[in-house]
Amino acid sequence: MATLISGKDISQKVIDEVKAGVAELHHQHDVRPGLAVVLVGDDPASQVYVRNKIKRAAEVGMASFEHRLPADTSQTVLNALIDKLNADPKVHGILVQLPLPKHLDEGHVINAIDPAKDVDGFHPLNVGALASGENALVPCTPLGCMIMLKEAVPDLSGKHAVVIGRSNIVGKPMAALLLQANCTVTVVHSRTRDIQQLCKQADIVVAAIGRPEFIGAEWIKPGAVVIDVGINAIEADGKRRLVGDVDFAAVEPIASAISPVPGGVGPMTIACLMQNTLTAARKSLQV
Ligand code: NAP
């Protein structure tokens, strides 16, 4: 039986630490970290994500600034808002909820955010800093995965990690963080040959592909540690439920530790967004 790596419990620890850090900053410097969240359009999933982020910010004692813009907002109007938030000293973190409506250029918006306020860690300056091992604001989901992994494997040095998926928001930054932690890293994707055999060699598997229960027992070396990033909604017995990219029931008896879905990486992502906002606020004060 694998140990459960509970994102629910670990994220609560992160939230408690952030809450204490926010209180300290307020007490010592009279500064309250502030997070601006921009939502364009009315995508229902994005509305839920934004609501949860605002709720968490309030819980840790941060200020939050919610900007809801209509789906037909122009690039000029969105850029003007980003400029305003970049210049606002009360705003330490800016998050533009993705995906944006099709007529807007996501790359342009990410590039417009001040890298010091880029709490999603998507700006090319932060991406480059992470890749070259410098101090960076790191994307929240892989940051959360690393915190979870370190709970399960305190010394990651020399471990063989296989990252399944190479997206900019999960796979690539995850690989960079594992490399920084002295793992030997293999990144596999949809064009990889013998993907199962490669995964079977891994001490650590991080799955981020967006395919429900795709990774079965035959992919996993006995005793491996498995982090499941996938969040997929499926219908079973007439009910909708969330599953990961890993077939939890099949893999759990083989792995030494595994994160569940739900209650795994999901809560870590929001907790790390709060952590990044606190980090950005501290950096702005040079403390
Ligand atoms: P993405 O941008 O769609 O990237 C998926 C990656 O998986 C791509 O690199 C793709 O390869 C690879 N892939 C797809 N099918 C594959 C297959 N059959 N075999 C091997 N590789 C395959 O997705 P993402 O944004 O990284 O998200 C991945 C999953 O994580 C999704 O379920 C998403 O909902 C979830 N997620 C969760 C959180 C959270 O907070 N827990 C945050 C972000 C994402 P190619 O590059 O070759 O196409």
Whole-model pTM above 0.85? yes
**Residue 98 belongs to what domain range?**
30-114
Is there a domain that residue 88 lies in? Answer: yes
CATH for 236: 3.40.50.720
Give the pLDDT score at 54: 97
Same domain, 151 and 225: yes
Q: Of all atoms in ligand 1, which is nearest to the CA of residue 189? A: 21
Tokens, residue 274: 């709060």
Is there a domain that residue 120 lies in? Answer: no
Q: Residues lining ligand 1, CB < 6 A? A: 141, 164-167, 169-171, 189-191, 195, 208-211, 229-232, 265-266, 269
Same domain, 109 and 146: no
The values of phi and psi at residue 87, to 5°, are -90, -10
pLDDT tens profile 149-158: 999 999 999 9
Q: Residue 236 pLDDT more than 90?
A: no
Same domain, 180 and 101: no
Give the pLDDT score at 287: 87
Give the pLDDT score at 214: 98
Q: Residue 137 pLDDT more than 90?
A: yes
- In the annotation, is 53 catalytic? yes
Is there a domain that residue 272 lies in? Answer: no
Q: Residue 182 pLDDT more than 90?
A: yes
CATH for 62: 3.40.50.10860
Same domain, 101 and 189: no
Classify the phi-psi angles of 121: left when phi > 0, otherwise alpha if psi is within -120 to 50, otherwise beta: left
Q: Residue 257 pLDDT more than 90?
A: yes
Same domain, 145 and 262: yes
Which of 184, 208, 211, 224 has its CA nearest to residue 264? 208
Same domain, 94 and 147: no
Mean pLDDT computed over 19-24: 98
What total number of domains does the chain contain?
Answer: 2
Is there a domain that residue 6 lies in? Answer: no
Give the pLDDT score at 162: 98
- In the annotation, is 196 catalytic? no
pLDDT tens profile 106-134: 999 999 999 999 999 999 999 999 999 99
Give the pLDDT score at 71: 98
